[in-house]
């Protein structure tokens, strides 16, 4: 009994999108380790061919004594998102946390390099995905009178000199403003909406980007983001909402 009381997310149900590898997998495992029932969501197959599946993440969680449900979902597809949320409610009866991690990164390409199809795919994954997922979970959170939504932000969405380029930086800036406005919109329902900027990470995806090698030794493993994500997952509108926070400053300027 004492062990369960020590777990910060005991009894909570969390959805983590893009959880087949990298940051999403690390966050799903961190939530589960703190007692949450975790819905591990990801596309069936990676368009980039990177390894990892939602099922593998869920199996890792279960092997460590946690509870997880793997659901295939393309967050750009409204029907799949609604089905994923419906399955979550059927399985667990509630949704306390939504961690919108799924997204794509296109860096180093100029506007003349980026064809409309690539532009549309990035906007769909990085902006339409969080919109669809938030819209799907909010009725349940409103009914509960509590919830926490965490969107992934980036310094590239706030500072044009960070190298995000016209596409990635534009989508992240949009996610930032979407989150600020949504936080105001759902504050009356006691739902927190925050933006977590994880900083440079050592993941399978970032390893495939050549220029990340120049600061590879300064990057952190995705597991380092876990404590800050767990903190945000516990918040509601009465405690901490409408904030853009940096993982690197957790425990210093916020989350103290």
From the candidates 92, 131, 168, 231, which is the catalytic residue?
168
Confirm whether 168 is a catalytic residue.
yes
- Rounded to 5°, the CA angle 7-71-170 comes to 90
Classify 193 as helix, strand or coil: strand
DSSP labels, 4-54: HHT-TTTT-EEEESS-SSHHHHHHHHHHHHTT-EEEEEE-SS-TT--S--H
Torsion of CA 54, 58, 61, 67, to 10 degrees: 140
Rounded to a whole number of angstroms, the distance between the first and last alpha carbons of the chain is 27
Active site residues: 168
């Amino acid at each position: 009994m004492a062990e369960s009381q020590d777990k910060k997310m005991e009894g909570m149900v969390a959805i983590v999108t893009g959880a087949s590898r990298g940051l999403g997998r690390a966050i799903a495992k961190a939530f589960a380790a703190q007692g949450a029932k975790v819905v591990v969501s990801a596309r069936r197959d990676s368009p980039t061919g990177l390894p990892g599946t939602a099922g593998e993440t869920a199996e890792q969680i279960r092997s460590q004594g946690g509870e997880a449900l793997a659901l295939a979902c393309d967050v750009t597809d409204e029907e799949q998102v609604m089905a994923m949320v419906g399955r979550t409610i059927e399985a667990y009866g509630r949704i306390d946390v939504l961690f919108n991690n799924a997204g794509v990164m296109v860096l180093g390409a100029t506007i003349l390099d980026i064809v409309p199809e690539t532009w549309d795919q990035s906007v769909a994954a990085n902006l339409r995905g969080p919109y669809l997922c938030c819209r799907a979970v909010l009725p349940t959170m409103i009914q509960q009178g509590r919830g926490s939504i965490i969107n992934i932000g980036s310094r590239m969405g706030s500072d044009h000199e960070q190298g995000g380029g016209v596409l990635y930086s534009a989508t992240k800036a949009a996610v930032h403003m979407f989150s600020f406005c949504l936080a105001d919109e759902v504050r009356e329902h006691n739902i927190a909406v925050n933006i977590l900027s994880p900083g440079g990470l050592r993941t399978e995806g970032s390893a495939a980007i050549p220029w990340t090698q120049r600061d590879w030794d300064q990057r952190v493993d995705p597991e380092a983001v876990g404590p800050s994500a767990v903190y945000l997952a516990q918040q509601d509108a009465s405690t901490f909402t409408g904030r853009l926070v940096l993982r690197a400053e957790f425990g210093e300027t916020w989350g103290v």
